[in-house]
A = this chain, B = another copy of it.
Amino acid sequence: MSGSTFGTFFRVTTWGESHGPAIGAVIDGCPAGLALSEEDIQKHLDRRKPGQSRYTTKRKESDKVQILSGVFDGRTTGTPISFIVFNEDQHSRDYGNLATTYRPGHADYTFDQKYGFRDYRGGGRSSGRETIGRVAAGAVALKILESLHVQLTTYSSSIGPIHIPEEDMDFSVISQNQLAMPNLDYAKKAADYLEQIMKEQDSCGGTIQCRINGLPAGIGEPVFGKLDATLAKAIMSIGSVKAVQIGDGIQVASSTGSQNNDAFYIEENQIAKKTNHAGGILGGISDGSEILLTASIKPTPSISQVQQTVTDQLEETDLVIKGRHDPIIVPRAVVVVESMAALSLVDLLFQNMTSRMDNFVDFYLRGEP
């Protein structure tokens, strides 16, 4: 179990290395009868495709997905769905000293420690290209969520020091800027900041927020299978994420009970909350209000500056990483965060179907005595 499988009920396994022949994923557990086409997947893959803005690597990949199984006559059959994306930009090249030198901030050293050797071409399995499989599977999860009218809104909430206050967010403009920010003025400031960072041959980080609306109350399992715990694992499993917050997140630590408790009241004959410090989750279970999660993304570790490092022969050396690298991965990671959130939600929605006897009996005996 090398850990490449996510989920219990909607189970996704991703496979593939950056410079192998192909990369892909298998979903085991998608219900039968969901309308699904390659275009449904492609539109999300295109959100993370390289070469779409001046802030991404020049690697040329069309990242065209093919569905190899599990769909018949345009609908899922209930059996495993296999996706494949062939790597196009995998021609032999000069990897220079990357086979023997450990890049700071990368997994080169830890892979060698764990496995004794590694596929050093482009980061191998720890490459960001691994997320292609996540996004392909996430696209299916998003379609399932759509059928329940569950909506995910995901965006760059900050880039480097440029942080958008919640009151200035306009989610309708997220797709109108290359940085996936919910405010065009801040996006302009962030772009200026990125130009400066690029001039300095440096990189920067940022934060991504995902807001989930329309999720029924009652989703998530008490104790270890909490909704927030599941989301935390899913989001922290994305390379470069170093913090996950739910609702008010780190601010709760300096708050008080009287401030932080969300008072219940009745609105239109339904239970509602006056505030949402909790981020839509109480005791690990959704309460029907908006779920807010925030992921903090570290700066891209590949920078063009000279860096001090070591080789696998325990010699100190200077490293210059060639080629152009993403000065920031935040905008491209937005769809990955959304995908991982969607995979978590679908898994827990399926799990919740067995939480009550009355539902179970009704499911099997509908109308029977």
Contact = CB atoms under 8 A, between A and B. Distances in A.
A331 interface: no
B68 A22 contact: yes
- Looking at chain A's contact residues, is the secondary structure mostly helix, strand, loop, or mixed? mixed
Interface string A105-121: 11101110111111101
Copies in the complex: 4
Interface string A346-369: 000111111111111101110000
Interface in A275-315: 278-279, 281-288, 296-303, 305, 307-310, 314-315
A48 to B, nearest CB: 16
Contacts of A349: 360, 364
A2 B255 contact: no
A254 B38 CA distance: 37
Contacts of A284: 107, 237, 239
Contact of A31 (B68, B269, B355): B355
Interface string A66-92: 101110100111111110100000000
Given A15-B28, A264-B310, 7 more contacts: A1-B10, A15-B79, A29-B354, A225-B237, A228-B236, A229-B237, A353-B360
Which 3 pairs across A and B sit closest by C-beta, in order of nearness?
A3-B225, A107-B283, A3-B221
